[in-house]
Every structure is written in structure tokens, then in C-alpha cells.
Amino acid sequence: MADPLAHLLDAYYLGDDPETATLLLADQYEESGEWAYARFLRDRTALAQLESQSATAIQLTDATEGAMLAHRRDWALADLVEQNWHHSVFDLLRWRVGRTGIIEWQEIADLPDQWNGESAWKSDPSRKFRFALPISVAELISWLKSPIADRLRGLSCSFGNSLSRSPESVDWLRESGRIEQFTELVLSHQAILGDVADCPRLQRLRAIWVEQLTPWLDACANRAASQSLREIVLQLAESPRADQLLLPPHWWQFLSPDRFPKLQRLSVHGGASQLPSSWGPMGSRSSAIRELLIDGFRLESGRAEQAMTAWAEMLSGLPLRSLGLGFSPEWNRESELRFLAAYRPGSMLRTLSWEAALGPDSLDALAQWPGLESLSELSLTLQGISQDAGPLQRLLASPRLRNCRSLNLTVPWSLMVNHTWLRSAFPAGNLQTLRLICRPRGTRGMEPGFWTELGRSTLAQSLWRLELTSIRMTAEDIRRFLAAGDFPQLRQLQLFQTGRNTRDIMAILSSPAFPRLWLMEYSAAELPGSYPRLARGWDRVRAGVWIHSERME
């Protein structure tokens, strides 16, 4: 009898009705005892059908995150304590996370013998594989022809330089006989896309360090992949010249429903090359695009303002739910103001990410921008702000942000010292997630007044998740923060590049606030001595704790 889970996974990756397959998968996981992951799958499927700012959607979002955290909690620490961290990552990805996760291995030569089509591989229903180190084309083709690759639907690999020097190797996917098999490909390091355009089931493509995009875009005109792709993420190679166009002039065809009828997400990172500022007709049908991220490009010198006005008018015609923009260095105050004056998104826009050094005038204009009213998530880079926190304070107090649930801020250290902008932020008490990144990285301990101001603010009463990155915190800072009792709803605390030794993590584990956290994610130095204490904390409070080992300076 065929493995029912394997059959459902094929339906999930290859079928025309992934929503139904997801619900059937949830039933299967529940029967096998993985109730948390089953609930996560059901909630995520239901959430996709709702408007993101509705009360039901907000409740489902909380439930979905809670279910996923509960599932991670059930598996994470046992692996973490029993083995060293890096091995536990591989085991977690291989066997856990609903067993649909990525199997990761460093090199083909390291694969255990029993994985060559024998029992261990057959018992694992995973459908994705990732090579962490570059491999040769010959190795990859040979491996793809073996029985081990029969059930794969996703592949992530980094090619060596040999691919770009060997024209005969471009059609590696066709030569392997797997061209109809994959729905997801992640290709990196001089990746030549080759016959990827012919993959009839390809839904998600990520290509990193792309040097020649034009041939593939042209090849997609009447090829299979253009009809099935739902997500494209492109990282273009670093441009040696500021005026070089690595993105072809007809790049806008990615947005054309006549060319890519199912494409919902497009993300292009420009490698500091110049962005084409013109486009042709979008097509006769309504665009399917819902998420668009364009960053890392330069605008044509001397025409930045005109280009942004034209961009705003073009984007106003797209039914976007998520928009991310970032241009430099010509993206200036006048460009920002021109864009905000001309861009009129529909009521569907939920996420805005502005990856540019916003200045005071632009923040004031953004506070009056009608598009804020529909946003549930806002991301801003505020490197253009120095000591004057007034514009940021006015923006965060704007009633237009009443539906915003998540705020991501990249701020200079001066705004950690001048923290008056926290006083009136989100007076409606609607913010649930705050992600704060300090650039350049703070070298001192946390400014004491910052915690006092944050704890007194209205948003402290509603925060469900708090993430801090590159904000140096001492053990005393952490202990004071967790003991303050100012964050009654806080369930997720994530600290990255904030501490440097075992004493810091011990300050967290000994805090009275620790038991109420669902997730504690901590990026710190090697802390082998804290693992036993962490295990005891796990047994005591059942909180999901993740420690990322890294070398701190």
C-alpha cells in the first residue's frame, strides 16, 4: 500500500489544489500526533482567505503563530541539548517541522550510504534538498539521476564556477531527466538559468548572483515556466558600473499577466546597477501580482524625481498587498515627496517597506499619506534622522496607523538616546510586533531611559513580540527589562547581536518573566555551559528556546 503521507505531499507540491491538499495533510499530521503542526496548517490556509486587518484575521494570525511555536517547542530543545547546535539544525530540518522541511547536507560525498535509495531515505517523506557548499555540474547531474532524487520537488544548490565556464553544462536540468519534477528551485553563485524556463511545474524560483537575466526573460515568452511561476526572487550580481543595466529594459514583463499569468510575488535586488525607468503595456488582463520588492538599484542621475513620479503612477495600477522599495543614492528627499504625492494604492495594500534613508520632511509627508490607513505592517529605515525625533513621533502617533499591527524600524543610535518618540506611539494600543535594529551597531549598554520610556508607553501594553538587533545589552539590562513587568502580553522575545557571554543568557533564565514567554530566541557567543541550565529551564516552563551560536567580537 502506498504511503498516504507521500501521496499527500505530492498533491501539495504538484497538484492544482494545494489548499485542499494542505487540509488533508493537516488531518494526517493530527492522526500521527503532531497536532500543533496540523493546527498551524489549517489556520494558515484559513488566514489566506481573509482580509489581513479583520478581527478574525488578527485572531487567526495569533493562533497560527502560537501553533507553530508550540510545534517548534515540542522538538527544539531536545535536539539542542543532546547534540551540538549545528547538528541539531540538520536533524530538525530533516525529521521535524512537520517532516516537510529541507534536508540539508554539506556535500554529496558526505551523504550516508543508506541514503542512496535505502531504508532511511525511503522512510523520510521530505521533498526538498539543499546543498550548503558549491558542487560541480557533473556531480549534481549524477546525483539527480540516482534513485535518491526520485521524490524531490524542491532543490537548493550553489554551483561552482565551472557552470559559467562550461556552455555544455547549461542544460543540466534537462540532462538529468528531472525537468518536469521540480516545483521549487534555489540556484546560486554564477547560476545560469538555462532550461529552467522549460520546467512545466515550476512555481517558485530564487536565483542568486545572476549576471545574465535577459536571455532567460526572453526565453520565457512562450515557455512552460512562465505559465506556472507564482514566485520569483532574483539577486543580481554586483554591477561594476553605476550606469550598467543588469535588469533588462523590458523587465516590466514580469508584471504582465499576459506573460506571467500566475505570478504573485516578485522580488528583485539590483546589485547597485541602474534601474530602467520605462515600461510598456501591462497586458489585457488584470495582474495577479500581490507582492513586489525592488531594491538595491540606482536611479538615473538627474532624473530621479521624474522617475519616481512615473513609478508611482505605474504601481498605482497594480493590486498590491505588499510593496518594498529601496533606491540609492539618488533616492532623495524630493524623490520621496514626489512618490508619496503620486502613489495611490488600492485598499488591498497591507505591507509597506521603505528601504531608504528617510528624512524629516518625508516622515511628515508619510504621516499624511492616505495609504497608511490600510497598512498592517510598516518597515522604515531612518538613517536620515539625527537628533530631532519630532517627525518620527508625529508619524507613530498618526491615527492613520490605527490598523497597523507590526512596526520594523532601523534607527541610528541617536534615536535610542533621544527616545521621546516612544511617548505617544500607537495611542490606540494596536501594535503587536516591534522590531528594532540599530545601525551602526551600538557599542555601549542600553540607554537606561529607553526602557523606562518604552515601558511607560501605550504600545508596551499590547506588544506580543519584541525583536532587538545590534543593540548592546548587558546582563543587568536584560534582567531589568524582563523584571519590569511593563509588557503583560509579551510572548516572544528575540535578541540578536545583543550580548556576548553565558552570564547574559543566565539573566534571562533566572528572570521571573521567563515562564510566560512562548519563544526566546537569542543570538550570542558559544555557550556550551548554559545548555544544562537551559534544559532544566525547558523542563520547568516548557518555553521554546533557541540559541544561535556565533562568534562575537
The residue behind cell 559559467 is 164
Q: Is the Cα torsion angle 508, 529, 84, 187 positive or negative in sign?
A: positive
Higher pLDDT, residue 232 or 418: 232
Across all residues in the chain, what is the average pLDDT?
70
pLDDT(219) > 80: no
Question: Residue 181, CB half-sphere, CA atoms under 13 Å: how many?
Answer: 18
> pLDDT-based confidence at 550, cuts 50/70/90?
very low
Q: Of the given ranges (55-69, 486-500, 517-531), which has the lowest mean pLDDT?
A: 517-531
Helix (H) or strand (E) holding 522: strand 519-524
Secondary structure (DSSP) of 117-146: TSHHHHT----EEEESS-B-HHHHHHHHTS
Strand partners, 105: 131
CA dist 265 and 224 (Å) reads 18
The residue behind cell 502613489 is 343
Residues 26-78 have pLDDT tens digits of 888 787 777 767 777 787 777 666 655 566 666 666 666 566 555 554 444 33
Higher pLDDT, residue 403 or 126: 403
Residues 177-204 have pLDDT tens digits of 888 888 888 887 555 566 788 888 888 8
Strand partners, 154: 128, 184
Amino acid in the structure at residue 299:
L
CA dist 462 and 465 (Å) reads 9
pLDDT(366) > 70: yes
Looking at residue 116, its pLDDT comes to 43
Residue 492 corresponds to which cell in the numbers above?
A: 516572544
Q: Is 281 exposed, middle or buried (0-12, 13-18, 19+ CB in 10 A)?
A: exposed
Closest CA relative to residue 354, chosen from 370, 368, 342, 372: 372
Residue 176 corresponds to which cell in the numbers above?
A: 538529468
Looking at residue 357, its pLDDT comes to 64
pLDDT(306) > 80: no
Question: Residue 450, CB half-sphere, CA atoms under 13 Å: how many?
Answer: 17
Q: Is the Cα torsion angle 205, 57, 322, 391 positive or negative in sign?
A: negative
Q: Which residues, including other chains, have CB under 8 Å from residue 115's CB and lie 6 or more apart?
A: 121, 148
Peptide bond preceding 329: is omega within 30 degrees of 0, i.e. cis?
A: yes
3-state helix, strand, coil in the chain (%, to 5): 45, 20, 40
Looking at residue 352, its pLDDT comes to 92
Answer whether 26's CB lies under 8 Å from 50's CB: no
Peptide bond preceding 440: is omega within 30 degrees of 0, i.e. cis?
A: yes
pLDDT above 70 covers a percentage of the chain that reads 57
Amino acid in the structure at residue 514:
F
Higher pLDDT, residue 86 or 79: 79
Looking at residue 452, its pLDDT comes to 76
Looking at residue 115, its pLDDT comes to 43
Residue ranges per domain, the chain? 1-86
Residues 312-348 have pLDDT tens digits of 888 888 888 899 988 765 566 777 788 888 888 877 8
The residue behind cell 529594459 is 249
Is the pTM higher than 0.85? The answer reads no
CA dist 485 and 78 (Å) reads 30
Phi, psi values for residue 136, rounded to 5°: -80, 160
Give the highest mean pLDDT range of 89-93, 155-159, 276-280. Answer: 155-159
Q: Is 553 exposed, middle or buried (0-12, 13-18, 19+ CB in 10 A)?
A: exposed
Closest CA relative to residue 225, chosen from 254, 251, 196, 249: 196
> pLDDT-based confidence at 378, cuts 50/70/90?
very high
